[in-house]
Structure formats: C-alpha cells, structure tokens
Amino acid sequence: MKRSIRLFLLVCLAVLQLRAEDLLSSIMTDMKQFNEIATQTKQNEHYQPYIVSVFEAKELEKLGVSTLKEALLLVPGVDMATDNFNNQTPIFRGSNPFAYGQSKLVIDGVLVNNLFFDSYSEYLSMPIEMIKRIEVIRGPGSKVDGINAYAGFINVVTYAEDFEEFESNDKVVFKYGSYDYRMGGFVKNFKSKDFKTHIDFYYQKDNKNISSGPDGLSQGALGPANIALSQSGEAPLWLDEYSLGLDVRYKDFRLKARMLQHKQGSAYGINLTLPQESDRMKLPSYYAELGYMKKIHSFKLDIKAGVKYNAFDSKAKLAPDNLVLGSVVFPDGIYGEHYAKQRVLYQSTYVKYSGVAKHTITIGYKARQTRTIQMSSKLSNLATGDATLVDYTLTRPFFDKDASRDVYTLFFGDEYNVNTKLSILYGINYEQTSYEDAGFEPRVSLVYSKDFKNIFKAIYSCSHRNPSWQEMFTKNNHARVGSTDLKPEKVTSYEFSYIRNFTNESYLQSDVFYLVNKNQIYNSATDPVYRNSAKTDIYGVELEYKGHIFANDKVYANYTYLDGRYSTDGGKKYNLPNVSHHLAKGYYIYSFSGTLSLGSTLKYVSSKDRAKGDARSKVKAYTTVDTSLNYKNRHYNYTVNVSLKNIFDTDVRYPSPQNTYVDDYAQARRTFLLTLKKSF
C-alpha cells in the first residue's frame, strides 16, 4: 500500500513538474507576446525621435468618429482644406494650404498618395472600423524607409498588423446616417502554421448635396461676358465607393494589395462653374506590393517591389448654357470627359545592422518609375458650339500623355543609443529625379529621458516635396496650367519637445517649432500657371494632454498656436494667408459601466486672413461639437453607436482662392450616424 502511495505521489509530482514547465513556457510565451505588442503599439511613442500622436481606433469608435478624415481633425496643428474638385487635404502647421502632397499617407507600410494630385483625398473616407491605429508625425520625417514627408506623415495600421492577437478582430459593420449615407463592411483573418491572411472590405455611398455659390463665374472665371451666367445651387458632393484589402504572409514573404474604386460628385466644378448633380469624378487606386524580410545574425534585410495604378476620370458639364468663348456661343453649355491613368513601379532594399554596440545602422535605396500610360480628352465642339463631344486627345489634350518621371533615393541613418538616457538619430537622404533634383537632406534627432516623468527632444531636419503631376503636366485648363520648370518645395525644420508623464496613461506634451519653407508652389485664378513663387517662415507652439479626471473617464485635449510671414517672388512679407492661428481640439469619454459610455468631441478653428490682394473679409472662425452614445453587449459581442455631429449646426467653410467661389466652400452642417458592429 505504501509503495502504491509513493508511486502515486511520484507520478503526481512528475505531472505537476510537467504542468509547471508547460505553465512556465506558456507564461514566457505570453510575456514575449505582450512585450512585442507593447513595443509595436507604444501608445504615445514618447521615446521616438519624432513629434508624434497616436490614436487607437477602438477609442475613436466610442466617440462616433466615422472616418480617417474625422480622426485626423483631432491631431494637433492639423486643419483641413479643399478645392473645386473637393480634393480634401490635411494641412499640417499652416504649410501651403492650397498645395497637395505636403503630407504622406501610408497604409500598412505602403504609400498611397496618388500620382495625379499627390494627395490621398480618396482615402480620407476610409471607415474607422477598418483601422486599428493611426500614428501621425507632425513636421518632416517618416517611420517608413524610403518615404520622405514634407510637413506631416500619417501611418494607418489595419488589423493585418504583424503579430498574434489575444482576441479576434473579425467583425461586420453597418452604418446609416444623414444624406442617406449607407455603409457595410467586414474584417476577416485566417491563420495556419505558415500562412496568415487578412481581408477587409467596405462599400459606402451617400447623396450629399450642399448649397453653394455663387460659383466662380461671378468673379469672371470664364471671362467678363459670362458673369451673368453665374449660379448658386446644390454642389454635388456625393460619394460612392468600395474597397478590398488583402494581406498575405508566408514565412518571410508578404503580399499587400488594395483595390479602391472611388467615385464622387463633381463638387464645385472643374472650371469653377456649378456642375450638374449627376456629374462625377473617379479616383481609383490599386496597388500590390511583394516584400521579403529576413533577419540574419545582426543584419535585417527588407526588400520590396510594387506596382500602383491611379487615374483621374471626369465626366461633367463644364460650363452653363449660352456660354460665350471668343466668337463662339454654346447654347447647351460645354461638356467634357477627361481621363488620365498613371502607373508607378518601385523597388527598394534596406539593410539594418545592429552588430556595433549601441548602434543600429540603416542603409538602402528606393527607385521609382512613374508614367502616364493612357490619356483621353473629349469636349463639346469648340469651333461650332455644338454639344456633341469631339475627341481632342491629340489636338487639345488636357494633360501631357507622355508625362514621366524617375526618382532615385539613397539613405543612410544611424540610431545611436548613447546610454540609457540619451539616444541620437542622424542620417542623410539623397534624391535624384528626371527633372530638378532634391539633393542632400540631413536629419538629426536627440531624445533625452531624464527619468520616466521627464523626456526632452530636439530635432533638425530638411525635406522636400516634388511637384505633383497636375502641377507639372496639366494643359488647356482655365484653372490649372502645369510647368515642368518647377523646383521641389524645400523645408528646414527646427523642433523642440518636452513631455511630462504623470502616470502610464496620462501626460502633457509641449512642442515648439520653426519652419523655413522655400520654392512653395502657387497659382491663382488670374494666373493659373503653377510657379515657385512663395517663401514662408512659420513658427508655433503645440500643447497636448491625455489623462483622466475620474477613474472611469478619458480626457484628450490639444491646443496649437502658429504664426509666420510669407512673401512672393522675394517681395514684401505678409501675414500667412488661409491659416488659422489658433486650433483647439479634444474629446471626453465617460463610461457609466462596462457596456455604456458617452463621448463628446470639440474642435475650434480660428479665423483666417486672406491672401494679398483679396479684399474679402476673413474666413470666419467656427466651433463644432459632436456627441455620441455607445453601447456594447458583451454577451453577444455587438456594439451600437448613435452619434450627432455638429450639434449646434455651425456653418463650416473651407477657404477658396481669390476670384473663385466668393463665399468659400461650404461643408456639411448637423448630421447623425447610426453604427452597428458585430465582432467574432
């Protein structure tokens, strides 16, 4: 009997030992996984050599934030601008509000700025439910090798992020709101031993039409003889789009692809004349990138190759009935169909070496070949005034059908961790193009962590923005005329930051910046040719706070003050035009329980001065308040969110250039949104 008991005890001890080893192994695996997640997400990223803000999408969903655009409007120092196409562009720290491409948008490591405008307006409507995290760098810099941001960098991370999750992120989403807005989408992940596949899809549309006008004809956009034809009415700002994203990993290989079919109303008119409701513009975006990443001892190799297609596709009534051009009268107006398709081929190789103590050295290159591969231009008969379309692709092209540009970028950088308190990042970019070269651009960042509570940063950097396709190659257009003589816009940036951590979840960050911008590209209604005509000096302060008032709430607030001077062609200096000197944003979430919360966001944008020679009064300041009620059923794992945006029905307008829409570009007023989400 005793022998049996001893045998039983020995077996139990062996089992317990094995279970303990398994448990310890499981704990170590979980700790490693937690550490990896913490390293990759780093909510505030205070130790990074940039001025950066991070927003978790699940928190934004509680506030009723619906799209990427709405999320970016919460970022310190970021305002929004638009144009007659309704090509909306986030403006970082007041830098050239009427330019595109000053900021870069990256989705899961892939640059998605289109080639035609060098903007990403078509991605601003991306539903927040498709996004996991948004990281925004203010000022020059980038977290992705081979991408050179001029004024700001936006890194969108989807649920394809490269590490195992402790909970499933599969979901389906449905939305309904004002302007008959409807949206449906899903996120799905498949995992096996060697394969990981992520798919996301969404479709959304609305019938948004906003009262606007008088249009640009009232200011003589198409000549004095046509001023009387100016109209006021509903600007077609409707949206109809769908997107399919794919991310496949097999061992060290990764394929990333996305198809976005974006269609929208013609907004305020290609020639600044109010279009018809059915007039439309398409901005499709397709890309595929194959990557290989391998770690070999102290080396980390990252090789990528990809292809991207964009197009500008417009079909619209360009001018009203009875328009007069020279001696020709157009009794039925002027109609036009314009199409240009661009292709980008790129390949990059970057090597990181960490074999030298305290150093991580990066060296690499990126090569891009950009081409226009298809173009067509059709207009009403310009000789007779007949509305029947005539093919002017060869005789009167709206765009250079042979447009091309090659870009080669070399990079060297070193992250030097001097000790536990001080790290230095320094490096240099060199870029050569088929046209004007950007040359050498250095960058130095110092991060000093006195202790957990006190972190200091100092950053010096130079960057540039190459002219966009439309700034270089547009032809035969009353509002835009391209020039291949343009030089890259240049910026030299000086930034200082102090971060005060109170707890792991609360902090106050203060930033001071000074930006010197040269060769900035402008045009106007009276001189539609794009030119390097402006120089601006911009300086400012940003304050950003995140924390709690009570145990069951979250508070986020920021304030930006910026000012500066600009001059054209080396002349007299003036106040910054079309720039708000004061921006204040924030949100508050109060959780009544684990299932019910109430959120609210507030945004204040101060008035904006007009450009030199523009006699209109300032663009008016505005304040908007949104509120949202969020309910989560934990048993069935579904969420219901009801939000009311701009609850006080504030009149929000984005500034228009001189001699265009005299009352600026009107935006949506009070709207509501209902969101249903089921997670799996």
Q: Please report whether residue 11 resides in a domain.
A: no
Q: Which of 164-168, 425-429, 487-491 has the lowest mean pLDDT?
A: 164-168
Could you tell me the CA-to-CA distances from 406 to 106, 285, 319, 403, 623 in Å, in that order? 21, 20, 37, 11, 44
| 302 domain-assigned | yes
pLDDT category of residue 161 using cuts at 50, 70 and 90: confident
Assigned domain for 163 exists: yes
pLDDT score of 162? 65
What is the arithmetic mean of pLDDT over 462-477?
Answer: 91
**pLDDT exceeding 90 applies to what percent of the chain?**
81
pLDDT band of residue 145 (cuts 50, 70, 90) is confident
Residue 242 lies in a domain: yes
Average pLDDT over every residue of 447-475: 94
Predicted confidence at residue 306, as pLDDT, reads 97
- Whether 343 maps to a domain, the answer reads yes
pLDDT of 6 over the 60 cut: no
**Integer Cα distance of 166 and 38 in angstroms:** 13
Residue 56 token pair: 């978790």
Residue 167's pLDDT is what?
A: 62
The answer to whether residue 188 is domain-embedded is yes
pLDDT at 616 over 90: yes
Residues 548-576 pLDDT 10s: 999 999 999 999 999 999 888 777 888 89
The answer as to whether 557 is a domain residue is yes
- Which percentage of the chain shows pLDDT scores above 70? 93
Contacts of 315 (CB under 8 A, 6+ apart): 279, 280, 281, 336, 337
Beta strands in 31-125 (DSSP E): 52-56, 78-81, 89-92, 103-107, 110-111
pLDDT tier at 163, thresholds 50, 70, 90: low
Question: Among 39-43, 74-78, 203-207, 481-485, where is mean pLDDT lowest?
Answer: 39-43
CA proximity to 643, closest of 57, 64, 58, 65: 64
Give residues with Cβ within 8 angstroms of 485, minimum separation 6. none
The number of residues in the chain equals 680
Q: Give the contacts of 354 (CB within 8 A, at least 6 positions apart).
A: 298, 300, 360, 361
Residues 436 and 489: their CA atoms lie apart, in Å, by 11
pTM of the prediction?
0.91
When divided into structural domains, the chain yields a total of 1
Mean pLDDT over all residues of the chain? Answer: 90
Domain span at 507: 21-679
Q: CA of 368: how far to CAs of 65, 434, 558, in Å? A: 35, 11, 38
CATH code at position 104: 2.40.170.20
4 domain-assigned: no
Over the stretch 48-58, which tens digit does the pLDDT of each residue have?
999 999 999 99
